[in-house]
Chain A
C-alpha cells in the first residue's frame, strides 16, 4: 500500500499529464451541476462539488452501446451474420468518483458477471477502468450512504482513494491496480502520522455529517409476497408520473433494452438503458402487459432495490444512498419514505 501526500496543484498536474496519454474521466463543472466527462486539454476537474448530476455508471455501462454490426446486403456472403462491434478497452481512469458511486459498480457486478453468464462489454469495461476515488468530507442533505452499507470514506470498489486535506490531497492505494498507478504517477511526499490522524478525524466528521438514513432492517423478515400485496403501493404513489429520471440517474439501475437499427444495408444491434418506469418495458408482443398500472411499476422499482436484490444476493440493498433519485424526482417520490413504509409494514 502506498500512502502519499500531494499538493493540490501537483495532483491536478499529474492527472492532466495522465489525461494526455490515456482516457481520464472526471467531474467538470457544467453550470448548475458538475458532470463526468473525458478530460480534454484545458478541462479542470472539479473535486469540490460533491455530487455529479448523473452517476458515472455510463463509463462502464454506456447509455447506448453498439453490440453487433451486420450487413443486410443480399449479395454479400456475410448477409445477416452478426459480428461483434470493435471496442477500445485501453486502460482508462475515473478520477474524483465518490465512494458511493464506486461501490455501485460492485453491486451491479453480480448482475453482469455471474457464474453462468458473463456480459463481455460490462466486464471488459469494468476491468479496464481504474477508479480514483474522492472521499466526501461532508455529506449533502440527501446523502444516506452510511445506512446502505457504504461510508463517505468507503474504499469498496476503489483502486485509489484521495482525501481533501485543505491544501493537499492524501492519496492512498487500495488495490494493486491503484498501487501501479501511483507508482507511475510518482512524486508526492510520504504521508506522515499527523496526516493519518487528521484523515481519521476527517472521516469521523464526515460520517457524522450524514444526517439522513434509509430504514431497511425489517425487510429481511417480511415475506416477498406479503410486501408485494401491501395496500400502500396503490394509495401512496399516485403522484409518480413514470418518467425514467430516477432510473437513469441511479448508479445501480442496470436494466437495458436491445434494439436493431438499419441504415440502408448496414445494421447495428444496440443496447440502451431502459427503465422499469416505462409501460413498454414489460409489454408482451401480444399486447398483454403484466405491469400495466403505474403502481405496479413503482412497486417493481422499489421491491427490486430493497427486497428482491438483497434476498437474492445477500449483499444488502441495491442502493448506495447517493440521493440522486430523490433530487431528480419532479413528484418528490422519496426512496427513504418508500423504504420506511415497506419497513413498517405488517400484514
Chain B
C-alpha cells in the first residue's frame, strides 16, 4: 500500500511517501488512520484531528468507512487551498 502525505501532513510525519503493509484486519480508511497514528509521534500528531484531514483512495475522495486494499494509493492531506 502506497501512502502519500501533502502540505503540513508531510511536514508533521516527516515523510512525503511510504510503502506500508498494514495488518490484514485494517480494511477501511478509518482503521488505516488508527493504525497509522501508532507509527510514531509525528504520525500521531499529523493524524490527531481527523476533521482537518482529507483522504483519497486511488485518487478519489474517500469516506472513513470506504475500503482500503493492498496495492491501493492512499493520500492524506488537509483541505485544499488552490485557486
- Do A and B assemble together? no
- Which residues of chain A have a CB within 8 Å of any CB of chain B? none
